[in-house]
Amino acid sequence: MSVNMRPLFSGWLVFSLTICCLFPGCRSNAPTQGSLFQQIFLSDSSDFRGVNLGDDIQLVRNLSAPLLPRYEDRYGLSFEYKLKPEGELTVDYYSDNLISGIEANKIASIVAQITLDNEVETARLYQEMREYFSRQYSMAMGNYGDYVWSTATRDFRISEVRLRLDESKRGIVLNFVDTHAGTNNEPTEEEVVEEVEEQPVP
């Protein structure tokens, strides 16, 4: 590059960097998530590890194959994974067994238990998860160590996400729960009576 071109090139470089700093579209606003986070969540296109509340529990078997559940009963499935460098992830998927028929096979709750050997790594992971859910679901209720987010499922049923740090500071419990599970949209007898009583007398 000639001597005369260097000031022009430097000016163009400064201008380009300034534009990228001013416009959000030129940079990522999302904080970088660490390796542990990626191992646990796999992707951000679902509630957790490719599974959403309300999915058929058979999907969990399909996604986890060839890994077999550590146990399975009429309430659901449980899987165990090793985290690198040192840690363990246990995920329990519970079906909606309070109702009958095909709805009983739908996932009503996901409980993930994360155990690490390092308090600093646990705190860092907890912060990454808190920031992630705050971006996904906005404001949280609660305080550090026990946060709750409310959101809506794909069929507009209300669900909750709870993120807890255990007392040892080396474990995290994550719980997705469909708060509508085990119920239906039909009003109860008490609700019908209340509605009738509230009707104005002609």
One-character DSSP codes across 30-83: SPPP-HHHHHHH--SSSSBTTB-TTSBTHHHHHHHTTSPPSEEETTEEEEEEEE
User: pLDDT for 186-199, tens place per residue?
Assistant: 334 443 344 434 44
Q: How many CA atoms lie within 13 A of 112 on its CB side?
A: 21
The pLDDT score that the predictor gives to residue 90 is 97
Domain count, the chain: 2
- 189 within some domain: no
Would residue 96 count as lying in a domain?
yes
What is the CB-side half-sphere exposure of residue 31 using CA atoms within 13 A? 15
Task: Let me know whether 11 and 61 are in one domain.
Answer: no
Claim to verify: residue 65 and residue 16 sit in the same structural domain: no
User: Do 15 and 41 reside in the same domain of the chain?
Assistant: no
Query: Can you tell me the distance from the alpha carbon of 157 to that of 178, in angstroms, rounded to the nearest whole number?
Result: 7
In this structure, is residue 152 part of a structural domain?
A: yes
- Is 121 found in the same domain as 83? yes
| Contact (Cβ atoms closer than 8 angstroms) between residue 117 and residue 170 | yes
Q: Buried b / exposed e across 122-134, counting CB within 10 Å, b at 16+?
A: bbebbebbbebbe
Amino acid found at 152: A
Q: Residues 97, 15: one domain?
A: no
Contact yes or no for 40/113 (Cβ under 8 A): no
pLDDT tens digits, residue range 64-88?
A: 999 999 999 888 999 999 999 889 9
Same domain, 89 and 21: no
Give the pLDDT score at 96.
81
Asked if 76 and 57 count as a contact pair (C-beta separation under 8 A), the reply is yes
Asked if residue 118 and residue 94 are part of one domain, the reply reads yes
Pull the structure tokens for residue 158.
Answer: 């209300």
Distance CA 146, CA 143 (A): 6
Inside any domain, residue 188: no
Question: What are the residue ranges in the chain where pLDDT is below 50?
Answer: 3, 5-10, 12-29, 184-202
Boundaries of domain holding 16: 1-30
Give yes or no for a contact between 157 and 178, defined as CB atoms under 8 angstroms apart.
yes
Torsion of CA 168, 34, 57, 153, to 10 degrees: 100
